[in-house]
Amino acid sequence: MTSYYQCISREQQQDGSCTAHYEPTIHAQGAWNEHEQHMAPATGILAHELEIFAPQPHLRIARISLDILGLIPLQAFSITTRSIRPGKTIELIEAVMSSGGRDCIIARAWRLISQDTSNIAGLEDHALTASPESLPIWPGMSIWPGGFIASTTAVSDPERRPGKGVVWLTTAYDMVEGEATTDFVRLMGLVDTANGVVPRNGLQLAETKLAFPNTDLQIHMHRLPEGKWLGIEAVQQYGADGIGLTSAVLHDKRGPFGRSEQILTLRPMV
């Protein structure tokens, strides 16, 4: 199996919404529990449904906001996608993943009008100096169990440390079996790993016994990403009252294309 998901069926509803039914493969398996999906490929499959839902060529996805409502079971699920706020220049769409009779993730995406603003374009985030091909394989991801982490390849900047650093990731797996995976979907399906590439408690999770799962993922993009490598320039911060924050500048090989944020609940591992 060389994909994260298998599409079983897709149904267009009379109200304009669309419901797709999927089966996850072992490659979607999570790191915190063996019976759950990892949020990264779950983000990818939701991005896939958002991307193909009633596309308008002059609009593009500029932000995806995902709220995680609980454990994401490693079992059959559906995604229902609909338009919440239709428009010719601004549109808000929503995709809800459901499994076993309950909603697992609510994803909302703003589509904004795309037009030529090259005469005023400018960035404050800087491109990374080293390309992923020039960096050594990073074995640190191997501390995380599960099929998803095993499906990825990671390289790291030598200055990466607990709390801050740069890691590049890629995967050779398609998001949906038998369907071409766009660059956008492929890289969206890796963003959630930002929370695991610079853990403040280092790489000895079993010794520190601290879990830091995120309850959301926010992705903002000033341009669409390209290619197969995702560069994550991450910073992780822990507060003193059990809440943390992982922030990242997101890169492809062209340079920075956006940012992500994840709010964390800090709790003892059980």
pLDDT reported for residue 205: 57
Neighbours of 116 (CB within 10 A): 6
Cβ pair 113, 59 in contact under 8 A = yes
54-81 pLDDT, tens digit each: 999 999 999 999 999 999 999 999 999 9
Using a 10 angstrom Cβ sphere, with 0-12 exposed, 13-18 middle and 19 or more buried, the burial of residue 213 is: middle
Q: What is the DSSP letter of 238?
A: E
Residue 39 pLDDT > 80, yes or no?
A: yes
Q: Write down the mean pLDDT value for the chain.
A: 95
* Torsion sign (Cα): 96, 2, 253, 146: positive
Name the residue among 269, 199, 209 with its Cα closest to residue 232. 199
Contacts of 1 (CB under 8 A, 6+ apart): 25, 26, 27, 177
Amino acid at site 208: T
Alpha-carbon torsion 219, 220, 224, 226, what sign?
negative
Indicate if the pLDDT at residue 47 is higher than 60. Answer: yes
* DSSP single-letter state for residue 137: B
Residue 204 pLDDT > 70? no
Give the residue-averaged pLDDT of 151-178.
Answer: 97
Place of tokens 């990671």: 154
Does the structure show a pLDDT above 90 at 270? no
